[in-house]
């Protein structure tokens, strides 16, 4: 019996068993977020090219002297952030300690506190919305959640309202989400917090339509905004416990307004080389803007960041291109593949280099040492990046 058939049978059995009971008074939450961690269900099978690659995340958050801890120092850092903020970014003060930063369709939080102060708050935030943190590295400011299903997307019909709380496993959205959080320390003592969303969708396959596979789905900017909004309020409540209910309601109202995404013009174009293949992506952003956008895009696309150097302008990532993988397996020969078909092809490292050119930034893909890419995959990566950076 397929999983879908099993769910339908379970639902039917539950309806019959509850025929003599009254559950119509159940109060269901209309919240946008009702996550059920995937570790309470069958494991989600991730395609090989999306499986997180174990690495020794070595990139360090840029150091700065001193640690902001006292309220006076925090206020001083906040004022400095206002004074030094780039004019291209619209900064909207929302709470005492958190602000929303806007650049095109991208949103992130700027908090006038050090990452050391914020780490535990972010760490506790994800379980508060029903998500389990599966990977974290305080040295790099990186956190990743388990895959989970958002039950808020299920239709709230009479059957689900009646029995959904009893056998919730019988219902499935066919989608699972994952979030990545990245914190970066700024020179003025503030911290930027980015949240990116990834999704997987369950697709029916086979001639009899009885089997399913998981495939990558689209990112959802509205869910990124939702989580950033909730995190901003969480930070405000943590550092301002005596705020009035009226102040909290006003902050939430302003947050909702500032997270509205408005359409923007295309900001990326591909430049081809003499061979007609993509040689670079040119962004109509200055370096600081391009750096922030690139970090978010790499997170959304699932690239594994191995290292980064903002001063030199590069991200070191691992990526296994499907065409490259197939070519490497073919090179091993028939008999090698016959007796070791499950042998894994190592994902190469690539350096994504950003070069500021005034109001524009040029993005190229290099080999891991900064030289020319020897795998032939650079044009493919540039094409993927250009699509996401538009």
Q: Which stretch, 23-27, 34-38, 72-76, has highest mean pLDDT?
A: 34-38
pLDDT for res 10: 45
* Residue 184 resides in a domain: yes
Per-residue pLDDT for 6 more than 50?
Answer: no
Domain boundary residue, one of 209, 230, 258: 258
How far, in whole angstroms, is CA 286 from its chain's centroid? 23
Nearest to 129 by CA among 234, 250, 261, 235: 234
Q: Are residues 90 and 26 in the same domain?
A: yes
Domain boundary residue, one of 258, 286, 303: 258
Number of domains in the chain: 2
Q: Are residues 242 and 365 in the same domain?
A: no
pLDDT band per the 50, 70, 90 thresholds, residue 304: confident
Give the structural domain span for 78.
Answer: 3-258
User: pLDDT for 224-242, tens place per residue?
Assistant: 988 998 999 899 888 888 7
Taking the C-alpha atoms of residue 304 and residue 80, their distance in angstroms, rounded to an integer, is: 33
Whole-structure pTM value: 0.60
pLDDT for res 287: 95
How many Cβ atoms sit within 10 Å of the Cβ of residue 360? Answer: 16
* Residue 263 resides in a domain: no
* Residue 164 resides in a domain: yes
* Residue 320 resides in a domain: yes
Q: Are residues 134 and 251 in the same domain?
A: yes
Q: Are residues 33 and 126 in the same domain?
A: yes
pLDDT for res 120: 93
Phi and psi based region of residue 345 (left: phi greater than 0; alpha: psi -120 to 50; beta: remaining): beta
Say which CATH number the domain at 337 has: 3.30.310.170
pLDDT (average), residues 307-327: 90
């Amino acid at each position: 019996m397929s999983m879908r058939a099993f769910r339908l049978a379970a639902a039917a059995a539950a309806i019959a068993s509850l025929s003599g009971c009254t559950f119509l008074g159940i109060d269901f939450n209309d919240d946008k977020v009702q996550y059920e961690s995937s570790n309470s269900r069958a494991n989600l099978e991730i395609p090989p090219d999306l499986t997180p690659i174990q690495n020794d995340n070595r990139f360090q958050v840029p150091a700065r002297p001193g640690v902001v801890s006292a309220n006076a120092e925090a206020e001083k850092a906040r004022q400095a952030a206002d004074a030094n903020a780039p004019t291209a970014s619209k900064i909207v003060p929302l709470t005492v300690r958190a602000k929303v930063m806007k650049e095109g369709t991208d949103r992130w939080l700027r908090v006038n506190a050090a990452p050391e102060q914020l780490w535990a708050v972010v760490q506790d935030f994800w379980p508060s919305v029903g998500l389990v943190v599966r990977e974290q590295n305080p040295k790099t400011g990186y956190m990743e959640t388990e895959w989970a299903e958002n039950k808020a997307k299920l239709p709230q019909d009479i059957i689900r309202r009646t029995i959904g709380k009893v056998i919730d496993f019988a219902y499935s959205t066919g989608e699972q989400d994952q979030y990545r959080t990245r914190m970066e320390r700024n020179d003025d003592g503030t911290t930027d917090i980015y949240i990116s969303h990834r999704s997987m969708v369950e697709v029916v396959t086979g001639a009899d339509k009885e089997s399913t596979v998981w495939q990558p789905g689209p990112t959802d900017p509205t869910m990124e905004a939702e989580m950033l909004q909730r995190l901003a309020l969480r930070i405000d409540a943590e550092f301002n416990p005596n705020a009035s209910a009226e102040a909290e309601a006003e902050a939430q109202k302003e947050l909702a307004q500032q997270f509205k995404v408005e359409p923007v013009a295309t900001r990326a174009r591909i430049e081809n080389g003499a061979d007609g293949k993509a040689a670079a992506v040119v962004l109509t952003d200055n370096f600081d803007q391009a750096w922030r956008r690139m970090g978010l895009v790499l997170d959304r696309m699932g690239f594994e960041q191995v290292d980064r150097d903002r001063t030199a302008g590069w991200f070191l990532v691992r990526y296994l291109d499907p065409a490259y993988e197939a070519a490497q397996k073919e090179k091993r020969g028939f008999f090698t593949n016959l007796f070791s078909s499950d042998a894994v092809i190592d994902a190469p490292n690539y350096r994504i280099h950003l070069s500021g050119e005034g109001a524009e930034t040029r993005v190229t893909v290099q080999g891991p040492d900064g030289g020319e890419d020897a795998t032939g995959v650079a044009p493919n990566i540039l094409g993927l990046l250009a699509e996401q950076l538009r």
